[in-house]
A and B are shown apart, each in its own frame.
Chain A
Amino acid sequence: MANDAVNRDRALAEIARRVPAQRVLTSPAALSAYASDALTAFRTVPEAVIVVESTDEVTRVVRTCAEHGVPFVARGSGTSLSGGSLPVAGGIVIALNRMNRILRIDAEERVAVCEPGVINADISRAAAAHGLYYAPDPSSQPVCTIGGNVAFNSGGAHCLKYGMTSNHVLGLTVVLPDGAVARLGGESLDGVGPDLTGFFVGSEGLFGIAVEVVVRLLPRPESVRTVLAAYDSLAAAGDAVARVVASGLLPAAMEIMDALAIEAAEAAAHPGYPAGASAVLIVELDGEAGHVDAEFRRLLALLGDSGARSVRPAADEAERARIWKGRKSAFSAVGRLSPDYIVQDGVVPRSRLGAALAEIDLLSQAYGIRVANVFHAGDGNLHPLILYDGREGGALERAERLAGEILELCIRMGGSVTGEHGVGVEKLAYLPRMFSSDDMSLMRAVRDAVDPAGLANPGKMLSPT
């Protein structure tokens, strides 16, 4: 331990020679702000935070860490819900927020080249002048960064049709954990050799830091039509999703919220969801106007036949925005119902959604813990919000046990423990439940080969052995 401290001090002294003092944070007050990400139940105060401004600085800091054996964690806006950017004890945080320039938008090639600290929504904002946008839309998109999106393969509400972050990243420049720089992929939709870009995306910081990200841009859909259908039961809303899928339509999004989530969203964002509904289903179609119009007529007829108590198409952009505001504010809105909550991110095969929700309801009753459900019904990605009061002794532990049972349920049904939030520290114990010991050992071997010293975001995704 003493040696670690000596090495750390040497590393910090060297970094201080290369990075201006005002960007090397070491005061307890400053460090405290970085001790947690959006998974606030976990806290670790780092030794220092280095606010880098260039690729060159990232490389130098990482090399210095490598030379002195100091662990580091890259951080953007700290919106990880799995503790992905939780600092490591005795380590430093490399803050990338100031590397927030969009280096280039090439409308002809339909790509944007971004530094890692660029805010997700800023890419679409900058691309709008060219009629283009960046498709992945995690709920945190007004604040989360593209670097974090890459590290955790972020999703969003439109994954059914558009896929996740990895489907939109064409190339990366990465600083490997020893400071070596590698270029992966490029600006083409196609590639030669193993898809290393795809392999880096979602590696949760264990392979190093992406310092330049090439994303593909899509033309903004000419027409977006959204409908809100209300149901008297969650099961009925789930059945409606099955009907939409069977019809051959390919919606851009299909989202369901249950009564508790509706209540919370209504109180926080006033989206005007039908009062007293047990579930609302949001379905969105997008594309060329003529095609979307015809598809939307089919969709409305189908929903009209699905036992909905009301089917309300958004009349205009303002109404559409309101519907989405309610949905996207659901997580934070639940904060009004309960002092604390855990957001889960499990995935089940879509056809098992109804069964999964019924079991979650039983678990909720058995534990006597309220669970609000908001989920991406189109791709089976559940987001149970488990409400608890952290001031009550043992409440967090009970909530975590319930969360764990939900993850076990997802695994049992042939799904995944995480659809879009990543494993981070939160689901460390559950990844080995999903994969065999051989699978886990190869993941560890890959990590060890890329980062033999184990300095890049240690303790995330792969539990220490």
Chain B
Amino acid sequence: MTVEALAQAVRDHARVLPIGNRTKPALTRVSSDVALIETTALTGIVEYEPAEYTFTALAGTRLSDVSSLLAAHGQVLPFDPTFRDAGATLGGTVAAGLSGSGRWRHGGVRDFVIGIRFVDGAGRVIRGGGKVVKNAAGFDFPKLFVGSMGRLGAIAELSLKVFPWPGPSVTVIAHMRDMAAALATLPRIARLPVVCDCIDLVPPANLLMRISGEESALATSVDRLRGALGGEAITLDVVRGAEEERIWEAAREFTWATDHLLVKVPTTLTRARVLETSLAMTRAVRRYAAAANVAWIAWPFDEDVAILDSVLTAANLSGVVLRGDEPRARLGVDAANEFGARVRRAIDPTGRFDV
């Protein structure tokens, strides 16, 4: 498939939704009159100069292919892109606006996207941003398409910034007394001079802190975390090697959330406390990532989604359903606003992507 073929496919239909490998199937559930445009054949890394810390790839390129290539040159996408092993594409990841636990240290997918080519509602191929890491020319279309869910235009090609591999890693797991205690400890960990790549919290009350860097300095970092947690942790495990990799692979691939509705909820520490209090009384499986800036919620299929919807609304939060058979794509409060509506009208005046 070529970028021009993608544009033609858009022009050929009144209502369209571009799709990748559908690793987040709930995002691609649309009525039967919407033409699904497969981008999985729009693949290939167009440009990669390791010395530039950037690459450009077509939208359907799999994250796993990107990661392997980067790894061969000692580089990474530090935000731990989600569903990588499940076959997620680069375009789908940007469109879904998903970042994994690694987003804590250096930022999420929005912070690494620097350039885009997309097909707009008129079927034209539009370029925004560029291929250099620093650029302030023109409107920031690359960022606009992060989280656009395929509902603003069809992403054809993306340029991303990458970072050097940060070095060997180690994960400290602190078993806290309960979730409230863990949530109380979180902000202190987040302000320590010890720089964590990831700070996740999972029930019953495990704080997971990943550190990477110079091998010779890791032990000291671990000791400092241990000291900072003081008597608050009941027990503390230090995990390395393959076992450590598996912890973050499970987080990234959501293997802990199968057979459930999977919902992403951006939050803050304060709201996460409210959210957790409500969710603790349900059968929801939870994971709080990036020092509770994101709540991943796995909701049992046999529970009424309306309960989750009202919990989110009460906490003034919005959620996106990623997996599971749920007609509503969004839960909780509606964050739509006038600015977004005007931008949408300009890019997609006939509502081709408004599906």
In the docked arrangement, what's the CA distance between A443 and B319, Å? 30
Task: Give Cα distance in the complex from A312 to B186, angstroms.
Answer: 39
A442 CB contact (under 8 Å) in B124, B187, B192: B124
Which residue of chain B lies nearest to A438 when distances are taken between CB atoms in the complex? B124
Q: Which 9 A-B pairs have the closest CB atoms?
A: A198-B143, A290-B217, A222-B193, A190-B266, A449-B346, A294-B214, A108-B187, A189-B293, A291-B213
**Are A349 and B49 CB-contacts (below 8 A) given A155-B136, A190-B290?**
yes
A153-B140, A195-B146, A248-B165 given; A448·B346 CB < 8 A? yes
Whether A188 touches B135, Cβ cut-off 8 Å, given contacts A108-B187, A194-B145, A450-B342, is no
Q: In the complex, are the beta carbons of A186 and B266 less than 8 A apart?
A: yes
**Complex: A155 Cα to B147 Cα, angstroms:** 24
Cβ–Cβ contact B103 & A189, under 8 A: yes
Does B267 have its Cβ within 8 Å of any Cβ on chain A?
yes
Chain B interface size band reads 35 or more
Q: Is the CB of B139 within 8 A of A195?
A: no
Cα–Cα, bound, A435→B126 (Å): 9
Complex: chain B residue closest to A441, CB-CB:
B124
A446 to B138, CA, bound (A): 11
Once the chains are docked, how many angstroms separate the CA of A237 from the CA of B341? 49
Instruction: Contacts A219-B192, A295-B214, A439-B127 given; indicate if A199 touches B51 (C-beta within 8 A).
Output: no
Contacts of A351 in B (CB 8 A): 49, 51-52
For B141, give the chain A residue with the smallest CB separation.
A199
- Per-residue B-contact encoding for A385-423, CB less than 8 Å = 1, 0 else: 000000000000000000000000000001111111111
On chain A, the residues within 8 Å of B137 by CB distance are: 416-418, 423, 427, 431, 434-435
9 contacts between A and B (CB under 8 A): A166-B140, A167-B110, A188-B293, A188-B294, A196-B337, A250-B163, A381-B134, A435-B137, A438-B124
Give the chain B neighbours of A196 by CB distance below 8 A. Answer: 144, 337, 339-340, 343
**When chains A and B are docked, how far (Å) is the Cα of A248 from the Cα of B195?**
18
Task: Determine the chain A residues whose CB is within 8 A of the CB of B268 once the complex forms.
Answer: 109, 186-188
8 Å CB contacts to A: which residues of B45-89? 49, 51-53, 74
Q: How far apart sit A419 and B138, CA to CA, in the bound complex (Å)?
A: 11
Residues of A within 8 A of B187 (CB): 107-110
Which residues from chain B sit less than 8 Å from chain A, CB to CB?
49, 51-53, 74, 97, 99, 103, 106-108, 110-111, 120, 124-128, 130-141, 143-149, 152, 163-166, 187, 190-195, 213-214, 216-217, 220-221, 264, 266-270, 290, 293-294, 318-320, 330, 335-340, 342-343, 345-347
- Give Cα A188–Cα B52 distance, bound, in whole angstroms: 30
Bound-state Cα–Cα, A99 to B275, Å: 34
Distance of B170 from chain A, by nearest CB (Å): 12
Q: Give the one of B49, B125, B290, B346 with max A CB within 10 A.
A: B346
The CA-CA distance from A174 to B148 in the complex, in Å, is 20
Known contacts A416-B130, A420-B136, A131 near B339 by CB under 8 Å: no
Which residues of A have CB within 8 Å of B320? 192
- CB-based contact B138/A192 at 8 Å: no
Cβ of B144: which chain A residues have Cβ within 8 Å of it?
194-196, 198-199
Residue A121 interfacial (CB < 8 Å): no
Q: Known A442-B126, A450-B342; judge A290-B216 contact (CB<8 A).
A: yes
Which residues of B are found within 8 Å of A419, using beta-carbon distances? 132, 134-136
Residue from A416, A442, A448 within 8 A of B132 (CB atoms)? A416
Q: Nearest Cβ distance between residue A72 and chain B, in whole angstroms?
A: 18
Contact yes or no, B134 A379, CB < 8 A: yes
B149 and A193 form a contact (CB under 8 A): yes
Interface centre among B140, B147, B293, B339 (most CB of A within 10 A): B339
Bound-state CA distance A380–B114 (Å) is 14
Residues of A within 8 A of B (CB): 107-110, 130-132, 152-153, 155, 159-161, 163-164, 166-167, 174, 176, 180, 182-184, 186-196, 198-203, 207, 219, 221-222, 242, 245-246, 248-250, 287-291, 293-295, 345, 347-351, 376, 379-381, 414-423, 427, 431, 434-436, 438-439, 442-443, 445-446, 448-450, 461
Identify which of B49, B52, B103, B143 contacts A195 (C-beta below 8 A). Answer: B143
Are A416 and B266 neighbours in the complex by a CB distance under 8 Å?
A: no
What chain A residues lie within 8 Å of B216 (beta carbons)? 290, 294
Residue of B nearest to A287 (CB): B195
In the bound assembly, the distance between CA atoms of A242 and B51 in angstroms comes to: 7
Question: In the complex, how many angstroms separate the beta carbon of B103 from the nearest chain A beta carbon?
Answer: 7
Chain A residues in 8 Å Cβ range of B139: 199, 202-203, 443, 446
Partner of B164, one of A107, A176, A222, A250: A250
Check if B135 sits within 8 Å of A416, measured CB to CB. Answer: yes
- Contact, CB under 8 Å: B131 / A418: no
User: In angstroms, how far is the closest chain B Cβ from the Cβ of A260?
Assistant: 23
**Chain B positions within 8 Å of A242 at CB level:** 51
Q: Given A246-B51, A414-B131, A423 and B138 touching (CB < 8 A)?
A: yes
Bound form: Cα–Cα A199–B140 in Å: 5
Known A194-B147, A198-B140, A291-B214: A347·B135 in contact at CB below 8 Å:
yes
Closest to B130 in A: A416
The answer to whether A288 and B346 have CB atoms under 8 Å apart is no
**Supplied contacts A427-B137, A434-B138, A436-B127, 15 more A-B pairs, CB within 8 Å:** A132-B191, A189-B266, A192-B335, A193-B97, A193-B147, A194-B147, A196-B337, A199-B144, A219-B191, A288-B195, A289-B193, A293-B217, A347-B130, A442-B346, A450-B342
Kindly state the separation between the CA atoms of A43 and B315 in the bound complex, as whole angstroms: 50
> Closest residue of chain B to A207, judged by CB?
B339
- B111, closest chain A residue (CB): A167
Residues of A within 8 A of B143 (CB): 166, 195, 198-199, 201
Cα distance A200–B269 in the bound complex, in angstroms: 25
